[in-house]
């Protein structure tokens, strides 16, 4: 299967049943800065935006997922990934981090009894990302 190139964009994923948003950014951090400035529920200060963006500038390959103080999550993919298998690997890897952060924030640990909730959230986030690719 041929994977399309990532578009230079940022977008939000509303988690609907969880009170958090995931911000996804492909390639250009200025798009993420703009998205954070215009977020309707929480307006970070310029200093807070700088504190979020600066560490992401040093990532040259793969991706990075981080949780903000308010529980929202950022997934950042800095490069157009050259190999389709690697792109799926990186995206799903980072989505699992986001899933774990959200579930941990609500107090749900990954166990045999809770794995279905993790799987549903993980699948939902992946679906929303793939809709944007």
**pLDDT tens digits for range 89-101:** 889 999 999 999 9
Assess contact for 11 and 35: CB atoms under 8 A: yes
Sign of CA dihedral 74, 112, 123, 3: positive
What percent of the chain is predicted at pLDDT more than 90? 62
Query: Is the C-alpha dihedral spanning 41, 37, 44, 55 positive or negative?
Result: positive
Q: Where are the domains of the chain?
A: 9-132
Burial class of residue 95 in the structure, from the number of CB atoms within 10 Å of its CB (0-12 exposed, 13-18 middle, 19+ buried): buried
How does pLDDT run across 56-68, given as a tens digit for each residue? 988 877 899 999 9
* Highest averaged pLDDT of the listed ranges 41-55, 70-84, 92-106: 92-106
């Amino acid at each position: 299967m041929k994977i399309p190139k990532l578009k230079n964009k940022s977008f939000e994923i509303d988690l609907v049943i969880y009170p958090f948003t995931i911000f996804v950014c492909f390639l250009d951090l200025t798009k993420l800065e703009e998205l954070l400035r215009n977020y309707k529920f929480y307006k970070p200060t310029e200093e807070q935006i700088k504190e979020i963006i600066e560490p992401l500038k040093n990532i040259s390959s793969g991706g990075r997922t981080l949780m903000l103080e308010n529980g929202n999550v950022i997934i950042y993919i800095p490069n157009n990934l050259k190999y389709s298998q690697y792109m799926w690997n990186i995206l799903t890897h980072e989505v699992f981090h986001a899933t774990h952060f959200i579930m941990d924030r609500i107090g749900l640990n990954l166990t045999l009894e809770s794995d279905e909730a993790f799987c549903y959230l993980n699948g939902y986030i992946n679906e929303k990302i793939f809709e944007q690719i």
